Structure 1
Amino acid sequence: MTATDRPLAKLGFLTIGLFDEADPFAGHESTLQIIELGEQLGFDSAWLRDRHLQYGISSPVAVLAAASQRTSRIELGTAVIPLGLENPFRLAEDLSTVDVLCRGRLNPGVSVGPPTHFDAIKDHLYPDTWAAENFGHERVLRLLANLRGEPVSTFAGTEGIESFSPSIQPHSPGLIDRVWNGAAGLASAEWAGSHALNLLSSSVVRAEEDDDFARIQRSHIDRFRAAHPLGEAARASQGLVVIPTDSATPAQVAKYEAYAAARFGRTTSPQGPQRMLFAPDLVGSSGRIADALQSHAAYQAIDEVVFALPFSFEHADYVQILTDMATHLGPLLGWSPRA
């Protein structure tokens, strides 16, 4: 097969960075090595997903600060930070600091809504204010205002020998243009567009007007761009679990196929009262995956992707998958690795 008339411009990957509770360093170090490998292979971006009260990355901003000192080119993203667990004041300070450290390579992705298992954690997370907390888009707006450098304090000037700023420091110009919104529904996608953000289309969507995943994901991208000031030029990225097997061993292929088969049931129809629908995992040769992507309604609307690495695999598996993505799948899609 050959690349389409709209070749893939940006190839990125996403990981949750699993670790052993008894030895958390090893898992975090593996994640950092994977990000370094991504840069060596020419990937455009590496993204971390939040996993709170689990054995995965709970502080992606801190890990990306470490990654910023071990890489020099690859963009570093969060996909996504659930703002229900965050203070937009402090998060803006952390994001701006990491963006300064990596010289403008940070891509913060955020989402809204109550934290997972909120009733189980609310007394520890917000012991005095949980009933009054707003988990809607107002939290994003506060974060954006902070990243733009709008005042957060009525005091500025010198007090004794210390100088104070009315706005979040450090301020990193350009970071505001690299904020992404993770959307699983039409309203969230439209909101992101109307506020000139970038869109991370999710591999988990709400089946609001359709039961076909590809068409639903495409509708989110279309709704987002229809509302965005840049229209068709607005940045939207496709998210799917993609597992090329070109250089995989027979044992790895068997593991990957079993993993996808165990998850396939949730892709056949919407799940639960919110009608959540999951994307099928794409497993196989790069040629086979490229053909599937070329016929995917959402892929046809984008020129950048953030492919998710599967959960609970070994470090060697991720090395093989990323290497095949960069050396086999990417070129078939018209992508060229960055020098």
Structure 2
Amino acid sequence: MKKIGFLSFGHWSASPQSGTRSASDVLLQSIELAVAAEELGADGAYFRVHHFAQQLSSPFPLLAAIGARTSRIEIGTGVIDMRYENPFYMAEDAGAADLISQGRLQLGISRGSPEQVIEGWRYFGYAPSEGESDADMGRRHAEVLLDLLKGEGFAKPSPRPMFPNPPGLLRLEPHSAGLRRRIWWGSASNATALWAAQRGMNLQSSTLKADESGEPFHVQQAKQIRAYRAAWREAGHQWEPRVSVSRSIFALMNDRDRAYFGRGDSSDQIGVIDNMRAVFGRSYAAEPEQLIEELRADEAIAEADTLLLTVPNQLGVDYNAHVLKAILTDVAPALGWR
């Protein structure tokens, strides 16, 4: 059994061909797609975060709105760039969103990916310390967030407070007690997957990875997941971690599906991202019977407990609900995912 959700990058464009021509369109349609996905039986609604781009950027209002409109589906991010984040403010926002959703928040964070502007995090007021890289800074912000989410008091109360304080040092509020175990780290390398395991974070592995062996993408990703789980066991955490992988998967059910996705490249690609040689995983697009056989051979999907389906959000809510329904009803049962 696998949890199956969707991952939206939240693009918008003024193009007449786009179903999302403004930020308002994307935000409102994201809420409606999450509602539709819950009705279809999907398990998660996840959103990517990018700054200085015509894409979703401020996740917590959206997540809170989805949490208020739904009752079962997990809501999450994949991922928030921690180079841009104030961990203290983020802990309050995340706590509020989690409480509104009654404990359904699955918060994916990372050191980030290439952005639209040069050193964009500086505009947000953040800069690496001496001898620290921007990636180090992102991981430092993440570790501060993890400590804050424990809910332990750390701030000395005022002797003349506006309102009465509980005894002892004060923590940030609102605090959601279970959220600390629902933090995920988006990892592109084996080393950062091990780092996440040591710190008790779940693992999100995307559609690209550092090319560390020259093997097919899904093989390298499966090895990353196994190494992560071994490091988790060695760290001695008292709960079981979760692992997600993202894939572009389209069941070709009609002529419209075939027109959109029937001629795509179905092989891994090699490229360079952030001066790192990376392998980009293939997309899957085929008739259901063929798709089932192709997915059966994907070692990383087999290793993961959660599969996030990237959706073409600019094609609108109805079409994306159709994409999800095809996977949930015509593909997943044959693979034992349902």
Question: Shorter-chain TM-score: which interval?
Answer: 0.7 to 0.9
Q: CA deviation at 1:152?
A: 4.0
SS of equivalent to 1:107? strand
Q: CA deviation at 1:276?
A: 1.3
Higher mean displacement: 52-61 or 69-78: 52-61
Residues 85, 115 of structure 1: 8 Å contact kept: no
Q: CA deviation at 1:92?
A: 0.6
1:224 maps onto 2:208 in alignment: no
Query: Percent sequence identity over matched residues?
Result: 27
Residues 12, 314 of structure 2: 8 Å contact kept: no
Map of 1:245 onto structure 2: 252
The superposition leaves residues 192-226 of structure 1 with CA deviations (integer Å, 9 ceiling, x where unpaired) of: 11122111111110102234201111111011101
Map of 1:295 onto structure 2: 297
Map of 2:157 onto structure 1: 155
Map of 1:58 onto structure 2: 57
Distance 1:303 1:45 in 2: 12
SS of equivalent to 1:11? strand
SS of equivalent to 1:275? strand
Distance 2:318 2:144 in 1: 41
Residue 212 of structure 1 aligns to which amino acid in structure 2? Answer: P
Map of 2:189 onto structure 1: 185
Distance 2:96 2:114 in 1: 25
Give the TM-score normalised by structure 1. Answer: 0.86
Q: CA deviation at 1:53?
A: 1.6
Residues matched between the structures, number: 322
Q: What are the residue-to-residue correspondences of 1:1-339 with 2, within 5 Å?
A: 8-20=1-13, 23-113=22-112, 116-117=115-116, 119=118, 121-126=120-125, 129=127, 134-155=136-157, 159-161=161-163, 163=165, 166-229=170-233, 233-246=240-253, 248=254, 250-258=255-263, 260-261=264-265, 267-271=268-272, 273-310=275-312, 312-336=314-338
The superposition leaves residues 242-291 of structure 1 with CA deviations (integer Å, 9 ceiling, x where unpaired) of: 11222x3x133111234x33xx68x3334364111111111112332221
Residues 37, 321 of structure 2: 8 Å contact kept: no
Q: Please list every run of 5 or more consecutive structure 2 residues that lacks an aligned counterpart in the other structure.
A: 15-20
SS of equivalent to 2:92? helix
Distance 1:325 1:256 in 2: 14
Residues 201, 238 of structure 1: 8 Å contact kept: yes
Give the TM-score normalised by structure 2. Answer: 0.86
Distance 1:171 1:94 in 2: 10
The superposition leaves residues 33-73 of structure 1 with CA deviations (integer Å, 9 ceiling, x where unpaired) of: 11001100111111111122222211122111110111011
Residue 75 of structure 1 aligns to which amino acid in structure 2? Answer: E
SS of equivalent to 2:270? coil
Distance 1:123 1:192 in 2: 25
Distance 2:271 2:120 in 1: 28
Q: CA deviation at 1:76?
A: 0.5
Q: CA deviation at 1:140?
A: 1.2
Q: Please list every run of 5 or more consecutive structure 1 residues that lacks an aligned counterpart in the other structure.
A: 1-7
Q: CA deviation at 1:304?
A: 2.3
Residues 99, 172 of structure 1: 8 Å contact kept: yes
Higher mean displacement: 149-158 or 292-301: 149-158
SS of equivalent to 2:173? coil
